[in-house]
Copies of this chain bind each other. A is one copy, B any other.
């Protein structure tokens, strides 16, 4: 069976690309989804669709509605969710997406580097699996097919 796995996390580096290419190497039948990774597009999609907005708050809200429309469909159709945290950025969307996954009862893998153990302890406890690296997350997905 092909699984659908949603990748929650920041969109500033290419961690999803790495994860996907490792999954392909291992021949895992997985369709990955996730938030819009083209950062400017993600920020400006509201204005692009709806035109210039009266101020920054409304500009951001317009973009967010379209981003949320897109990711909610993906999250609801996902068999599982992976949430990756790192040292940069606030990453509140990552924690929110992980929370939604928990609220919807979706199995969740948390990728949490060693130095973030304490601030992510409740989220880790609610996740099904907590790992430290992308490679370990791939091993968990690989185990699904064993």
A residues contacting B by CB (< 8 A) are: 1, 3-4, 31, 36, 38, 41, 45, 48-50, 54-58, 60-61, 63-70, 72-73, 76-77, 79-80, 85, 89-105, 107, 109, 117-132, 136, 139-140, 143-144, 146
Contacts and interface: CB of A to CB of B under 8 A. Distances in A.
Majority secondary structure of chain A interface residues (helix, strand, loop or mixed)? helix
Contacts of A45: 143
Given A63-B121, A67-B125, A69-B109, 15 more contacts: A65-B125, A66-B128, A66-B143, A68-B125, A69-B128, A69-B144, A73-B144, A76-B105, A77-B79, A92-B120, A93-B95, A96-B102, A99-B102, A100-B100, A103-B103
A140 B63 contact: no
The 9 A-B residue pairs whose C-beta atoms are closest, nearest first, are: A103-B103, A99-B99, A95-B95, A64-B125, A54-B54, A60-B121, A69-B128, A96-B99, A92-B95
Nearest to A103: B103
